[in-house]
Amino acid sequence: MSTPWIVLSTIVGYFILLFIISWAASRRSDDQAALTGGREAPWFIVAIAMIGAPISGVTFVSVPGMVVAKSYSYLQMVLGFVVGYFAIAYVLIPLFYKRKLVSIYGYLEQRFGAGTHKTGAWFFFISKMLGAAVRFYVVCVTLQLLVFAPLGIPFVVNVVVTIALIFLYTLQGGVKTVIWTDTLKSACLVLSVVLCIFFIARGLGYDLAGLCKAVAGDESSHMFFFDNPKEGTYFWKQFIAGIFMVIATTGLDQDLMQRTLASKNAQESKKGLIVSGITQFFVIALFLILGTLLTMHVKASGMAMPEKSDELFGAVAFSAGMPVVVGVLFILGLVAAAYSAAGSALTSLTTSFTVDILGADKKSGDTRLGHTRKLVHVAMAAGMGLVILVFYAISNSDAISAVYTLASYTYGPILGLFAFGMMCRRAVRDGLVPVVCVAAPVISFGVQRWLESSFGYTLGFELLLLNAALTMAGLAVLMKNESK
């Protein structure tokens, strides 16, 4: 069987599983449950779902390839993620449960006012739409190379078909569907990476002891970087940025928090979040170990190193002499990561737009709410498809860096809003908050360019912190005398 048909068969099989799970999850789901998950998910199911939730097609494709230029420096940031998960569990989770929020951005209305609420919701909308599109774009490009181009199918058809399938399986079940499909996704991801490591290591002639020794001795496995504070890979820059990045992109992200808020109570939610956060460190480490093995295979086989690091995994998986099962596992992990992540993003965008921007949960009955939610779901799917096509036309950088750079600009104001709200009791001039939240990323961009051109200093992922600090400073200027 040729490569396109192997890939297509794997995708079809995975989608059959997705639709079965979606049907089972949505059998007794109404429109309120679609927005909240029914608040009945067991903590261990949420934990399993959250292991794979932040892992998208970008992670699956880009992280193994990162070892070529950046070694294991990404684990420095992931260590920061683990600390950040504890902060989310013990600071944000109790706050969200206490206020009985459907969307976490409802906190901004309770704390500041309607203008701030809408501002936070719009920044999330832009962040998630762009971030999800970047992640899914990587997968669409890979599938175009392996499946659609050899069959003579244009890229636009690739995007339309995959977005349509994701739209269909998330339409009815909402958050319930997301939790159970993410559980399947986590299992498929871990299984595919572990088995790929096994088959590639065996092809290189390594047993377990030999594998450990070879990876530890390879130059690509260098993890800690303390030598140059100006570099983006410097340990303290990545570690501290990792803490705040995960607080912003997980704890203040409706997409990822919709799973934890589906738990029965705050204690259950905390357990699931902490277990998943610690486990994610080891899962990301597996991706990097796989990346080292991929570079070893390229050197041993005489293959040319792909021009883009994102193409490394796919190039090796379908190279001559590699067992067919490795290609199947690559596609299984890729579609599991990509389709579940895109489905989750689509669901959270629908929830946030329906609740935060339209306010349909407050002014509509169940029938009207369901109708509104489905119309918004259609619009979000169409919007995501259009953004992917734009990225396809303009993209030329490695995807995972693009995702985090976008997050630094768009999640910075959200982080600043929540941090200021929890640290200060004073009210602010709600109508001027949008001005502050737009000004902060613009000023941050200028500071980033100035530091790089004047001092050669790379303002990496700590750009998020600068953005948040500028937002908080602006809110301090807008403070009123009374408390809220």
pLDDT tens sequence for the chain (484 residues): 456 777 777 778 877 877 777 677 665 554 444 444 445 667 777 777 777 666 766 677 778 888 887 889 889 999 999 999 999 999 999 988 888 877 788 889 889 998 999 998 898 888 888 777 877 787 787 778 777 888 888 888 888 888 887 787 776 555 566 677 777 777 777 888 888 899 889 888 888 888 889 888 888 888 888 887 877 778 888 898 889 888 887 888 877 777 777 777 888 888 888 888 898 899 899 989 998 998 888 888 888 888 777 778 878 887 777 788 887 888 877 777 777 777 777 877 888 888 888 877 676 566 677 788 888 888 888 888 888 888 777 765 555 566 667 777 888 899 899 999 989 888 899 999 999 999 999 999 899 889 888 887 777 667 888 899 999 999 999 988 766 5
Q: What is the 3-state secondary structure (H, E, C) of 39-82?
A: HCECHHHHHHHHHHCCCCHHHHHHHHHHHHHHCCCHHHHHHHHH
Q: Positive or negative, the Cα torsion across 392, 464, 456, 78?
A: negative
Within a domain: residue 416?
A: no
First to last CA, the chain: 66
Within a domain: residue 385?
A: yes
Closest by CA to 420, choosing from 475, 379, 371, is 475
When divided into structural domains, the chain yields a total of 1
Q: What is the predicted pLDDT for the residue at 318?
A: 78
Within a domain: residue 188?
A: yes
Within a domain: residue 458?
A: no
Q: What is the predicted pLDDT for the residue at 439?
A: 95
Within a domain: residue 17?
A: yes
For residues 138 and 333, what is the distance between their CA atoms, to the nearest angstrom? 14
Report residue 41 CA to chain centroid gap.
21
Q: Model's pTM, two decimal places?
A: 0.74
Within a domain: residue 68?
A: yes
Q: What is the predicted pLDDT for the residue at 395?
A: 61
Supply the Cα-derived Rg of the chain in whole angstroms.
22
CATH number at residue 91: 1.20.1730.10
Only one residue has tokens 């940025």, namely 241
Q: Partners of 426 in the beta sheet?
A: 483
Q: What is the predicted pLDDT for the residue at 349?
A: 84
* Domain carrying residue 269: 3-396
Q: What is the predicted pLDDT for the residue at 40?
A: 63
Angle at 400 between CA 318 and CA 290, to 5 degrees: 45
Within a domain: residue 312?
A: yes
Within a domain: residue 325?
A: yes
